[in-house]
Amino acid sequence: MSARPFPNGGVASVVDWVVDWVVDWVVDWVVDWVGRDISISDDIPVAGFQLLRHGSGIGRASALALAAEGALVTVAGRTAETLKETVRLIEASGGSARYVVADITDEAQVEKAVQAAVTDTGRLDIALNNAGYDGEYQLTQDYSTDMLDRMIALNLRGVFLSMKHELRHMTAQGSGAIVNMSSGAGLIGVPGFSGYAATKAAEIGMTRSTAVEVAPHGIRVNAVCPGLVDTPMIAALDTDQRTSLDAAHPLGRIARAEEIADAVVWLASDKAGFVTGIALPVDGGYTVP
């Protein structure tokens, strides 16, 4: 199946939203979609909504991992070319996908996208919210206010708006699982990244508070907190820099994006059916005191 725009009122039996940012601040969403009978793991609910990060990193790996469980995928975001590439990779691995353009910092677009995704099935079972922007190294006294505002818009407002509209559907149906992509920076101090750490810590607080709110409705809300992940940016570092990053992790290396995706799939599955309100480090021991 070739990449194609998401039609108004399209069928959406499985929905996985992936919010995916890249170094030029492009945000992409990936949504798993099913409009026919498929074979899917018993551990993964049939209808889902997923937000993931990085066009070539965690977000894309998570989209592929969920597609491997049998979900068909619709990609949504600001840049069609990035979305098309994610669609191409999913289809090359035997899955099926399409895309829709949207902006998660705009509440009207978030609401419209969620509604379009669940119009025909009326269900939303999985959500992975992965908006993220870490900015540049700057000491707090020199920190750019514009950079902080951008972090708040993507890391906090975007995730908040997404959960707000996801939960309206999940509460109505009485079930669902949300995974928010936080960071190890939300658990420990990271010099030079105070704004990023603040927004990711706030995301954990929002995750925990929401988990308590919606537990009576059969909805689980958790966060994943990755350490450093092997991306093209990391791969471009020289040998000494890479060795230093690996050594900062007790397991002696940084993570692969697929390892973060595995945690996402587990938290979204019935195998984590009694897990809610946690901030799960997937960081090779980086945040261990």
Report, as residue numbers or ranges, the catalytic residues. Answer: 196
Q: What span, in angstroms and rounded, lies between the C-alpha atoms of 117 and 33? A: 8
Contact status, residue 18 vs residue 59, Cβ threshold 8 Å: yes
Look up residue 172 and give its two tokens. 């109505």
Q: Which of 20, 1, 12, 182 has its CA nearest to residue 101?
A: 20
Q: How far out from the chain centre does Cα 91 lie?
A: 20
Q: Which of 213, 2, 226, 42 has its CA nearest to residue 128?
A: 226
Under DSSP, the state recorded for 184 is: G
Q: Which of 225, 51, 197 has its CA nearest to residue 130?
A: 51
Q: What span, in angstroms and rounded, lies between the C-alpha atoms of 176 and 221? A: 9
Assign 3-state DSSP to the chain and report helix, strand, coil percentages, each to 5. 45, 15, 45
